[in-house]
Amino acid sequence: MNALKFKNAISAGLFSCLILLAGCGDPIETEIAEDPVSDPCLPSAMVEKLTTEEVVEEPVSRSLSLPGEIAVNNDRVFRVHPTAGGIVTHVNVRLGDRVSKGQVLATVQSPDIAEFKRDKQSALADKSIAKRNLSLAQSLYESGVYSQRDLLEAQSTLERAESEVERLREQQKVLGIEGEQESYTLRAPESGFVVERNINPGLSMRSDDPHAFKISDLRDIWVVANVSESDIRNVRRGDTVTISTLAFPDLRLEGEIVRLSSAIDPGRRTMEAIIELPNPDFQLKPGMFANIELNVKETEVLPVISSGSLIFDNNEYYAVVFEDACNVEIRKLNIHSRTGQRTFLNSGLQPGEHVVSSRHILVYNKLTESQ
């Protein structure tokens, strides 16, 4: 067999084999396989690390911790004002001293005292003259020289003179003028403690100056709580509170908010809430720091979850509701109020449902990415 015949025989054999393979083999697959469907369930490894909490219903509570301080009861404060201009010569009490009603607090030397004494001497002289004129008028009336009108006029003159003398005597008491000295004294109007002192020896004073002393009996004091703007809506008049102080941390006092300020302190951006407390042993002193705890339960009952289960996104609050690994849902919440670590809800969750309370942000991100 020559070379040409051998080549033709090989070509024919190969062609026969291809025909046999095409006839005996399976058809060639031409369709493209579809992508597998994504799993809607959370991975078991993730579920094992999750913790959940049950949504429960509770009475709505308002709980706050407010800073504050002990202050004098301004309804029981007595202010001692200068009654005339002059120079302070003596100050007999210090801040915090206990004083009795009528006790001399300070002495003021005043040039106005000389003028007052001249007015008083003139009034006494007018009274003496009026008394003699009345005696003369009575004699002349009895002798028929004076008419009854003349007698009444003399009596009226004496009454006016006596009234002026009495007025000056009362003024002398108010001014604290004693003896013949050209000075007057400032006295305690009531018994109590000196809670403010604004004068020192050598100070020049005017009659229209602010008060020199402030006296309070401290049997009743105020606790002034500072309420931030964000907490104002949670504080109401009549709320009961528990008060403690740095000085007496084991002493727990119960009180009630009796008034709320109508203004905001521009420096601290807070509103004042005032609690009145009895202080019979004078244990609480103005200026002490205090902590005021407010915890009030109301009649309204709402679903509640821990604040740590909340998710804040796009200016909205959400929670992840968990039934099982394949039933997980994101819910938008309508919040009623937040008290400490508890959040009360108007809508979004029902009692008995469970929300993810740990790794909830991780679950939230996984669910939002799959949407």
Q: Identify the CATH number of the domain in which residue 137 sits.
A: 1.10.287
Note whether residue 6 is domain-resident.
no
- Residue 270 predicted with pLDDT over 90: yes
pLDDT tens, position by position, 63-107: 889 999 999 999 889 999 988 888 899 999 999 999 999 999 999
Question: What pTM, to 2 d.p., does this model score?
Answer: 0.59
Do 364 and 311 lie in one domain? The reply is yes
Whether 227 has a pLDDT exceeding 70, the answer reads yes
Residue 148 lies in a domain: yes
Decide if 7 is inside a domain. Answer: no
Residue 330 scores a pLDDT above 90: yes
If asked whether residues 136 and 168 sit together in one domain, one would say yes
Categorize the per-residue pLDDT at 34 as very low, low, confident or very high, splitting at 50, 70 and 90.
very low
How many angstroms separate the CA atoms of 290 and 292, rounded?
6
Domain boundary among 282, 297, 312: 297
User: How far, in Å, CA of 78 to CA of 105, rounded?
Assistant: 13
Whether 235 has a pLDDT exceeding 70, the answer reads yes
Q: What is the pLDDT at residue 35?
A: 45
User: Is the torsion defined by CA of 132, 173, 167, 164 positive or negative?
Assistant: positive
Counting Cβ atoms within 10 Å, is residue 161 exposed (0-12), middle (13-18) or buried (19+)? buried
CATH of the domain at 350: 2.40.420.20
100 with 197, same domain: the answer is yes
Same domain flag for 338 and 242: no
Residues 272 and 321 in one domain: no
Same domain, 252 and 144: no
Name the residue with higher pLDDT: 56 or 41. 56
Domain check: are 105 and 201 in the same one?
yes
The answer on 239 and 125 residing in a single domain is no
User: Counting Cβ atoms within 10 Å, is residue 345 exposed (0-12), middle (13-18) or buried (19+)?
Assistant: buried
- My answer on whether 205 and 104 are in the same domain is yes
Mean pLDDT across 148-173: 85
Q: Do 224 and 285 belong to one domain?
A: yes
Note whether residue 224 is domain-resident.
Answer: yes
The answer as to whether 3 is a domain residue is no
In a domain, 5, yes or no: no
What CA–CA distance (Å, rounded) separates 109 from 94?
Answer: 20
**Last residue of a domain, which of 240, 266, 297?**
297
H/E segment holding residue 300 = strand 289-306
Cα–Cα distance, 310 to 188 (Å, whole number): 60
Residue 20 falls inside a structural domain: no
Q: In terms of domains, do 161 and 142 share one?
A: yes
Distances (CA, A) of 126 to 81, 155, 177, 189, 355: 32, 13, 21, 33, 95
CATH number of the domain that residue 257 is part of: 2.40.30.170
Residue ending a domain, choose from 268, 297, 326: 297
Domain identity same for 100 and 204: yes
What range does the domain containing 90 cover?
86-110+182-210
In a domain, 359, yes or no: yes
- Provide the 10 A C-beta neighbour count for residue 219: 13
Q: Is residue 171 classed exposed, middle or buried when 0-12, 13-18 and 19+ CB atoms within 10 A define those classes?
A: middle
Place of tokens 């005017």: 206
pLDDT at 1 over 60: no
Domains held by the chain: number: 4
> What per-residue confidence (pLDDT) applies to 4?
39
Would you give the end-to-end CA distance of the chain in angstroms? 75
